[in-house]
């Protein structure tokens, strides 16, 4: 029987980059590539990319979605089309959220909702830092400026020649020493899982100009403080 951890599509790439992979909600996830402090610093000063493919994602469709669904659990609904939403949440909130969605689901309802778990359908590359927009602008024609894609808005466009969903979800106000760096722009780039390595490489190449770094979940906890 298989008892091993789930692998993100970038598992091999992380191994080659020497990441320290640790269990995280059943997944083998990079905890760090170098010291978390250094990773966080690169993100604050320029841009860093992390693999967030393990983050739960649900695809919701159906006539019951005339308005965005409301969840008590910590979840974000991103509109993808008419009565069509992508729902993301923290791993800890996945089970209660799924339970809640299952209650809403079903053909018996006069306005049913249909949910498909798409966590593994999409690779999620998380770009964090003041230069994250510059990296994205080299890979996509989607306008990701402050006004073009405000926080908690999403867009759909090709990124590195691959169809993608781009979610803007900023991190909090950042400080470097005593310097207030303001709110840090951050984006999730969701691409079909099988394109993950191609897009990952393209992001690293595009970010070379800005000294892009890698970050694991340990650095993220520093950035989200």
Partner 1 sequence: MSITSQSGTIFFNGKPVRAQAGDTVASALYRAGQRIFSRSFKYHRPRGLLCAAGRCPNCLMNVAGIPSVRVCTLPAREGMVVRSQNAWPSLERDWLAMAEAVDFLMPVGWYYKRFTSHAAWRRVRPFIRRVAGLGDAPAPGDGSERRYEHAHLNTEVAVIGGGPAGLQAALESAARGEEVTLIDDQPALGGHLRYSRSGAAASSPLIAQLQAYPGVRLLTGSSCFGLYEGNLLGIVQPRPYGDVAERLIHLRAQRVVVATGAYETPLLFHNNDLVGVMLSTAAQRLIRLHGIKPGERAVVVGWDERAAGVAVDLVEAGVDVVEVIEPEALTAAAGRGRVEGVDARGRWIGCDLIVTCGQRVPDAGLLAQAGARMEWSAERGAFVPVELPPWASAAGEALGELLPRRQAAGAAAAHPSERAERAERAKRAFVCLCEDVSSRDLVDAVEEGFDSIETLKRYTTATMGPCQGRMCQLNAIGVCAGATGRGVAETGVTTSRPPTPPVSLGALAGARRHPVRRTPMHEDHEALGAIWMDMGDWKRPRYYRGHYRESASGGERECVESEYRAVRERAGLIDVSTLGKLEVRGRDAARLLDKVYTHRFSDLRPGRVRYAVICDESGIILDDGTISRLAEDRFFITTTTGNLDFVEQWLTWWMVGTDWDAHITNVTAGLATVNLAGPEARGILRLLTDCLLDSQDFPYMSCRQADVAGVPALLLRIGFVGETGWEIHFPAEHGSDLWQELLKVGRDFGLRPFGVEAQRLLRLEKRHVIVGVDTDALSSPLEADMPWVVKFDKEDFIGKAALSRAASQTPRERLAGFVVAGEAVPAIPEDGAAVVIDGRPAGRVTSARYSPLRQSVVGLAWAPAEKAVEGAEIQILVDGRLCTARVMQRAFYDPEGARLRQ
Q: Should residue 24 be labelled a site residue for partner 1 when binding is judged by CB under 8 A?
A: no
Q: Is 173 exposed, middle or buried (CB count within 10 Å of its CB: 0-12, 13-18, 19+)?
A: exposed
Q: Alpha-carbon distance 9 to 121, whole Å?
A: 10
Q: Should residue 119 be labelled a site residue for partner 1 when binding is judged by CB under 8 A?
A: yes
Residue from 40, 89, 160, 189 binding partner 1 (CB under 8 A): 160
Q: Should residue 8 be labelled a site residue for partner 1 when binding is judged by CB under 8 A?
A: yes
Q: Should residue 61 be labelled a site residue for partner 1 when binding is judged by CB under 8 A?
A: yes
Q: Should residue 137 be labelled a site residue for partner 1 when binding is judged by CB under 8 A?
A: yes
Q: Should residue 7 be labelled a site residue for partner 1 when binding is judged by CB under 8 A?
A: yes
Indicate the residue among 63 and 172 with the shorter CB distance to partner 1.
63
Name the segment binding partner 1 (CB under 8 A); options: 44-52, 92-100, 139-147, 217-225. 139-147
Indicate the residue among 172 and 211 with the shorter CB distance to partner 1.
211
Q: Should residue 114 be labelled a site residue for partner 1 when binding is judged by CB under 8 A?
A: yes
Here the tokens at position 166 are 């781009």
160 CB contacts (<8 Å, ≥6 apart)?
Answer: 139, 140, 198, 199, 202, 203, 206
Here the tokens at position 110 are 């006069």
Q: Should residue 169 be labelled a site residue for partner 1 when binding is judged by CB under 8 A?
A: no
Q: To 10 degrees, the CA torsion angle through 18, 21, 27, 31?
A: -110
Binding track, positions 31-60, relative to partner 1; x by CB under 8 A = ----------------------------x-
Q: Should residue 198 be labelled a site residue for partner 1 when binding is judged by CB under 8 A?
A: yes
Asked if 174 and 166 touch (Cβ cutoff 8 Å), the reply is no
Q: Should residue 12 be labelled a site residue for partner 1 when binding is judged by CB under 8 A?
A: yes
């Amino acid at each position: 029987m298989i008892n091993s951890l789930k692998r993100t599509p970038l598992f091999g790439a992380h191994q080659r980059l020497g990441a320290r992979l640790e269990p995280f909600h059943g997944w083998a996830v990079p905890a760090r590539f170098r010291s978390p402090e250094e990773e966080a610093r690169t993100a604050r000063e320029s841009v860093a990319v992390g693999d967030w493919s393990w983050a739960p994602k649900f695809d919701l469709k159906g006539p019951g979605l005339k308005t965005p669904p409301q969840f008590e659990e910590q979840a974000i609904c991103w509109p993808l089309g008419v009565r069509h939403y992508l729902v993301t949440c923290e791993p800890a909130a996945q089970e209660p959220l799924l339970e809640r969605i299952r209650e809403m689901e079903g053909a018996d309802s006069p306005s049913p909702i249909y949910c498909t778990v798409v966590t593994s359908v999409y690779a999620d590359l998380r770009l964090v830092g003041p230069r994250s927009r510059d990296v994205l602008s080299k890979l996509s024609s989607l306008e990701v400026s402050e006004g073009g894609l405000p926080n908690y808005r999403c867009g759909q466009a090709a990124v590195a020649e691959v169809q993608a969903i781009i979610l803007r979800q900023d991190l909090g106000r950042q400080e470097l020493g005593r310097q207030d760096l303001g709110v840090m722009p951050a984006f999730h780039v969701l691409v079909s899982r099988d394109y993950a390595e191609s897009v990952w490489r393209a992001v690293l190449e595009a970010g070379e100009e800005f000294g892009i770094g890698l970050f694991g979940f340990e650095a993220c906890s520093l950035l989200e403080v």
